């Protein structure tokens, strides 16, 4: 059995039992998304117009480009959800392809609405999460290995190999959400006085961090 088939089967059997615990149960065979707008409240395409192409996605056959806001950390991420893959709509799952340059990182972040399982397609990745008791569960996982990140817990990844690493992340939600810790703290409008006391940082240090992590910043 090829590695790609193993990944697809794994994602299917992983997400299927827990869909009811995350997204609403579908009431029809499928609901092909159309008129994708800024939100995820998508209308269903007429099922009589469906073709096999609606259920096939080719957008992650190769890695994305290392550019834009994640380039400075060596991360390229291609999310796959109902906006880009209409066949996923209402099925309670989504996924992402992440590529990491050597020493590249996926900074600490969490998904408020989903558990994630990461399958290493290529490379060696230091991978882990932090629980609510501030315990770190982390180790280097290699090609063919998987790791689960429990819902809403902060997790992270770093390529510790000499070649590009590739990871496929599967979520048990159509809209898992994504919150990066650094951006949430320093890229939002939290009062500087509070951040000073919370982290022991000076105004100069805070200004530098705010400049780096505000949404307007481009890497």
Helices in the chain by DSSP H: which ranges? 3-15, 181-186, 192-199, 203-213
Which pLDDT band holds residue 19 (cuts at 50, 70, 90)? very low
79-94 mean pLDDT:
89
Domains of the chain: 3-177 (2.60.120.10)
180-202 confidence digits (pLDDT tens): 999 999 999 899 999 999 999 99
Q: Is 109 annotated as a binding residue?
A: yes
E strand residue ranges, the chain: 33-34, 43-44, 75-80, 94-100, 105-110, 116-122, 124-130, 136-142, 146-149, 155-159, 165-171, 179-180
Does 217 belong to an annotated binding site?
no
**116 annotated as belonging to a binding site for a ligand:** yes
pLDDT at 31: 83
pLDDT confidence of residue 34: 77
Indicate whether 8 pLDDT > 60. no
Residue 71 CA to residue 212 CA, distance in Å, equals 13
Average pLDDT over residues 66-71: 51
pLDDT given at position 184: 93
Does 159 count as an annotated binding residue?
A: no
Q: Is 106 annotated as a binding residue?
A: yes
**Per-residue model confidence as pLDDT tens digits over 26-66:** 667 788 887 655 555 567 888 878 889 889 999 898 877 65
**pTM of the predicted model over 0.75:** yes
Mean predicted lDDT score pLDDT of the chain: 84
What end-to-end distance do the CA atoms of the chain give, in Å?
41
Q: CA-CA-CA-CA torsion for 35, 179, 23, 37, nearest 10 degrees?
A: -10
pLDDT digits (tens, 9 = 90+) for 138-173: 999 999 999 999 999 999 999 999 999 999 999 999
Residue 20 has pLDDT above 60, yes or no: no
Do residues 82 and 40 touch, judged by C-beta distance below 8 A? yes
pLDDT of residue 72: 74
User: CA 19, 25, 30: angle at the middle one, nearest 5?
Assistant: 100
The model's pLDDT over 106-149, given as tens digits with 9 standing for 90+, comes to 999 999 999 999 999 999 999 999 999 999 999 999 999 999 99
């Amino acid at each position: 059995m090829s590695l790609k088939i193993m990944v697809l089967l794994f994602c299917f059997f992983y997400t299927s039992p827990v869909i009811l615990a995350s997204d609403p149960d579908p009431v029809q065979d499928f609901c092909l998304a159309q008129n994708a707008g800024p939100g995820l409240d998508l209308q269903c395409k007429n099922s009589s117009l469906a073709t096999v192409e609606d259920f096939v996605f080719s957008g992650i056959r190769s890695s994305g480009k290392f550019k834009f806001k994640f380039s400075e950390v060596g991360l390229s991420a291609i999310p796959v959800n109902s906006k880009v893959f209409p066949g996923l709509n209402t099925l309670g799952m989504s996924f992402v392809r992440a590529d990491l340059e050597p020493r590249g990182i996926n900074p600490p972040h969490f998904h408020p609405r989903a558990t994630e399982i990461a399958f290493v397609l290529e490379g060696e990745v230091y991978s882990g999460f932090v629980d609510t008791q501030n315990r770190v569960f982390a180790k280097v996982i290699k090609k063919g290995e998987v790791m689960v990140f429990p819902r809403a817990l902060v997790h992270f990844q770093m390529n510790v190999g000499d070649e590009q690493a590739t990871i496929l992340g599967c979520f048990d939600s159509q809209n898992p959400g994504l919150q990066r810790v650094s951006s949430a703290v320093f890229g939002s409008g939290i009062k500087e006085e509070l951040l000073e006391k919370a982290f022991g940082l000076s105004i100069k240090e805070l200004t530098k961090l705010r400049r780096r992590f505000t949404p307007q910043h481009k890497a």
